[in-house]
Amino acid sequence: MRFRSIFTNSAGILLSRIFGFIRDLLTASVLGANIYSDIFFVAFKLPNLFRRIFAEGAFVQSFLPTFIASKNKSLFAVAVLIRFFLFLMVVSILVTIFSEEVTKAIAIGFDETTVAAAAPLVAINFYYLDFIFLVTFLSALLQHKEHFATTAFSTALLNISMIGALVLFRGEEPETIIYALSFSVLLGGALQLLLHLWMAGRKGVCRYLAGGFSYLSRKKRVVESELKRFSRSFFPSVLGNSTSQLSSFIDTWLASFLVSGSISYLFYANRLFQLPLALFATAASVALFPSVSKLLKNSKVDEAKSESQKVFWLLVALLGGATAIGVILSHEIVELLFQRGAFKESDTLNTSAVLVMYLAGLLPFGLAKLFSLWLYASHRQAEAAKIAAKSLLFNILFSIILIYPMKAPGLALASSIGGWILLFLTLKAVGPQIFLDIMRSKKAPLSLIFIALCGFAAWGLKVIADGYL
């Protein structure tokens, strides 16, 4: 396992999340938790959902195994690029034309006035998806060349662009601010694409693609079977990789029926929940996937187990420690990061309650990412999709059961329950023996001790913060 690659991904994600928290801090201060912040978060929800699905697994984990096995790599890559980009452009135009209908589907609880205010923003934000597909496509080719830094660090550009909009338009009316934020999302996507094009040129990827374009019209039939194989695996991969994101999307949809501000509580809490998930689990899975795919393609199962074993208990320690710290210090963390300006003490209490419920699912969602790599690398995307669908159904069921007695925290708890079900079903599909072989490690006691120390340290800090010492 290349720990340097994991560190590179983690460092890039950390940088992006630092800017992301600065962005969220400014958003909370400038907009607070009200109808205007709800409108923007709804408008940003759909492209952000697809961004996470594309960038954090679905596309790469279906494209890369087929690309590795392809005998005509440049032709295959160009054919995929053309098909996807044209499809997304058509979808973007349709979203623009039917923006009010799309907005009603995203936030079904909004009234007509709120839908009318949010619809133009939904249309603007959706075009970010076109940029992020091109970014993800280039990042997949860079990953094949064992280059991770550009993709890891470029994600900060979106947050930097949005921070700029918040600073420049801070004194304006809320309607102006949310329009400025929406256009800054597109600017951030354009900057990410330009950076990837520059690095793709340096790594020879652009010349590689140019060769594919020159031969595509004459030799397209050569890659038809590979394109069909990719298409069969991609859509199941989307569902298999998107459980936590779809859970968050469902939370937003259902929260539109609750009191004003509920969507914002879920958004801020989910941002905190996503930090350790992305920093540890996503970074590890992105770095691990190319090597596991190549090893399983060559039937080197034991070596693939060894690669996974090196990161398993590290993930348990880091995710478990983050859960302990987050649960114990939830109120203090939210207060420190967000409670200023328009974000009041009541908003802190509500957001911290939601955060605790989300954190209950941190460990299972993270470990499910690790073990699902075995399914994707073995071209078992359809099986992974069925698992994700079952998990999602349980999530929806518990959301309906818990929304009225627990309000927004109940939606977050339902998401965590779905995460545990996802992990159980994923381990069952991968196989108990593979799971047990990966678990066997001398690092297990150290990981459990680390989690206990994190919990004890967090408890000590809370006692001090509460003024008892």
pLDDT at position 429 over 70: yes
Q: Could you tell me the pLDDT band of residue 452, with boundaries at 50, 70 and 90?
A: confident
Other beta carbons within 10 angstroms of residue 259's beta carbon come to 10
| CA dist list (Å): 289 to 60, 112, 143, 372 | 9, 45, 9, 10
pLDDT for 352 equals 94
pLDDT for 330 equals 92
Domain-wise residue ranges, the chain: 3-465
Q: What angle do CA 292, 293, 294 make, to 5 degrees?
A: 90
CA dihedral 269, 271, 277, 282 (to 10 degrees): 160
Q: Would you say the pTM of this structure is higher than 0.75?
A: no
Q: Left if phi > 0, otherwise alpha if psi is -120 to 50, otherwise beta: which for 261?
A: left
Which residue did the predictor score with more confidence, 419 or 464? 419
Q: What distance in Å separates the CA atoms of residue 266 and residue 251, rounded to the nearest whole number? A: 7
Which residue did the predictor score with more confidence, 134 or 214? 134
Q: What distance in Å separates the CA atoms of residue 147 and residue 5, rounded to the nearest whole number? A: 8
Query: String of b and e for 404-422 (b: at least 16 CB within 10 Å)?
Result: eebbbbbbbbbbbbbbbbb
Residue 388 phi/psi, 5-degree rounding, is -65, -40
Instruction: State the average pLDDT over residues 339-345.
Output: 80
pLDDT for 1 equals 45
pLDDT at position 2 over 60: no
Q: Could you tell me the pLDDT band of residue 425, with boundaries at 50, 70 and 90?
A: very high
Among the ranges given (51-55, 445-449, 463-467), the one the predictor scored with the smallest mean pLDDT:
51-55
Instruction: State the average pLDDT over residues 49-54.
Output: 66
Decide if 235 contacts 382 (C-beta within 8 A).
no
Quote the mean pLDDT of the chain.
82
pLDDT for 186 equals 93
